[in-house]
Structure 1
Amino acid sequence: MSTNGSSQSMPSASSYSSSPPSDGQPRTRNTGSTARASGPSATTGQNPTSVRWDRQTIQFSVNAWVFVVAVLAIIPLAPINLSRRTYRLSFMGTACSSLYSLYTLYGRPRALNLQGIQVYLQSIMATKDFIYFIYCITFVTSHLSLKFALISILCRSLEHVAKFLRRNFSRSTLYRKYLENPCVWVESNTTTLSILSSHTEIGLGFLLIVSLFSWQRNIIQTFMYWQLLKLMYHAPVTAGYHQSVWANIGRTINPLVHRHCPFLNTPLSAVQRWWLR
């Protein structure tokens, strides 16, 4: 009997553990919550760097692949089937690279209606990636094979590859031994490559006009490409180079037209008004 009474008078251990402390402040149950809370903040600070690295790596991989494929397409001794496939693959690769760059920089249209798409196109129309995307679409969808058009693709891919190698592999012994001098030359001669690209793009416009007199003529492609040349003339990223080339062409052609073909002055002035507006 005495043992039962003593056991009933003793308070249970659970009542002590569940009762709050005397000062009225709640007791913390887990001391590691602070460490767990600070963990995601540290990882989120590292995510942007890894994302940027992934984007650069993807662009480098695509442009390096485009450079190799375009070189194979230009080689005159390559088989015809290989040359045709690599010709189209080089344009497709550059188009994908340009689209990916536009997506990472500008995202998608905010609204998938006519007004939203117009606003989105106005924001990207003057960019170099959009210009090269239209450039590639113009030639990859055509049955006319102009390997001369690959020069601009080669210059673009070469600039991207050299910039990536110089920024990320400057301490590599392989880079210092074989690739440092070519990459330094490319980065120091970007203006020369841009001038070469502008000459190529304008020359392609005249080649398409000449092709209108052959059985391979494509009126829609020629019209679209001259609209693209007009955009290149006015876009800030390419305007300086294209305007310089067109100025040289005007200084050469205009005296000949005035001297030998004065009847062409009226149509040429109409074309110039359309071009400059």
Structure 2
Amino acid sequence: MGEEDDPQNLKKIAAAAYDYDKDPRWADYWSNVLIPPQLASRSGVIDHFKRKFYQRYIDPDLVVEPMSSSSSSPPARSSAPPSSSTTDDQTRLRNSGSTTRTSGTSTSPAPNPTSLHWDQQTIQFSINAWKPRAWNMQAVQVWFHSVISTKDFIYLIYCLTFVTSHFCLKFALITILCRTLEHVAKFLRRNFSRSSLYTKYLEEPCVWVESNTTTLSILSSQAEIGLGLLLIISLFTWQRNIIQTFMYWQLLKLMFHGPATAGYHRSVWAKIGRTINPLLHRYVPFLNTPISAIQRWWLR
């Protein structure tokens, strides 16, 4: 059978032809990929994560090859000779390809080994992606800004803010539940899509969660902003915590500017402004000056 009839080759062609820009899940997926800017601008890195996205959401049977060391290593090391592990990986890939072609009558596809463990090249890529490009202030700042703008970091700080608080707000669990539903649905679909239990009981709710991530994100944003308003009200009670309120509003400001959450938060704030601003201008016009100062700090 020719190479053009190889099922994996056809899947790769379909993955390359897929219109990722029109899929809203791609923007959310790419915003959560923690890689420094010098790697994110390389076409080979982008293509690799597009194939991983296609494998997760479109075709779980697509085999995504490990990231090559030439794409993850700095340019100065590109002239180094290929290691023996690369040759072994290429041999293993050729063997797996021939196995797939000769077992055309098999009803179950071969398991993807890359989904079960990380090989040496993937670990090397991850190390290069997570560490700063150089150990100086400018490089560390660039790396840190690429980390703090992701959803995972934002919600880590969110959880720490309320775990260390003596002020019990069950309302804060709404955001955690929304985020948990998204992760659980993706995990079940990726790892148990062929399970009869999943197909019978869990597939429909998981598909609903994955198709309504925008609704869950808007609900989460409304709950987060509502918590900020509740913390301001709590300043006038005996349970007030000035430091926690200040830190949480700094987090809300980060959510307002972060690319992963900015769209949802700005939409909620716009609705609040259309409702509150006419009332403020009409009944308490003397608050215009302090509100303008707060808005300048917020948008800075």
TM range (shorter): 0.5 to 0.7
The equivalent position to 2:264 in structure 1, one of 241, 256, 268, is 241
User: Letter of the aligned partner of 1:137 in structure 2?
Assistant: L
Counterparts in 2 of 1:166 and 1:41: CA distance versus 1, 3 Å? closer
Instruction: Tell me the equivalent position of 2:290.
Output: 267
Of 154, 162, 168, 1:131 maps to 154
Greater radius of gyration (CA)? 1
Unmatched 5+ residue regions in structure 1? Answer: 1-36, 56-102
Pick the structure with more helix per residue: 1
| 1:201 aligned partner | 224
Match of residue 240, structure 2, among 217, 221, 240? 217
Look up the match of 1:53: 116
Q: Which residue of 2 aligns with 1:149?
A: 172
1:256 is aligned, of 279, 284, 290, to 279
Question: Tell me, which stretches of 5 or more residues in structure 2 are unaligned?
Answer: 1-84, 97-111, 119-125
Identity of aligned residues (%): 71
Cα distance per residue 1:138-159 (max 9 Å; x no partner)? 1111111111111111111110
> Tell me, what secondary structure is at the counterpart of 1:222?
helix
| Structure-2-length-normalised TM-score | 0.58
- Distance verdict in 2 for CA 1:39–1:186, change over 3 Å: same
* Structure 2 CA distance for partners of 1:38 and 1:242, relative to 1, 3 Å: closer
RMSD: 2.8
Any idea what the Cα deviations from partners look like across 1:175-231, whole Å, max 9, x if unmatched?
111101110110111111000000000001001111111222111111111111111
Higher relative contact order (CA 8 A, sep 6+): 2
d(CA) in 2 for partners of 1:104 and 1:129? 18
Alignment pair present for 1:122 and 2:133: no
Shift of 1:248: 0.5
One-letter identity of the residue aligned with 2:281: H
Count of residues in Structure 1 that have an aligned counterpart in Structure 2 = 193
Secondary structure, aligned partner of 1:135? helix
Corresponding residue to 1:158 among 181, 184, 208: 181
Residue type of the partner of 1:144?
Answer: F
CA 1:50–1:41 in structure 2 vs 1: closer, same or farther (change >3 Å)? Answer: closer
CA–CA separation in structure 2 for the residues paired with 1:38 and 1:269: 59
Taking the aligned partners of 1:166 and 1:120, their CA distance within structure 2 comes to 32
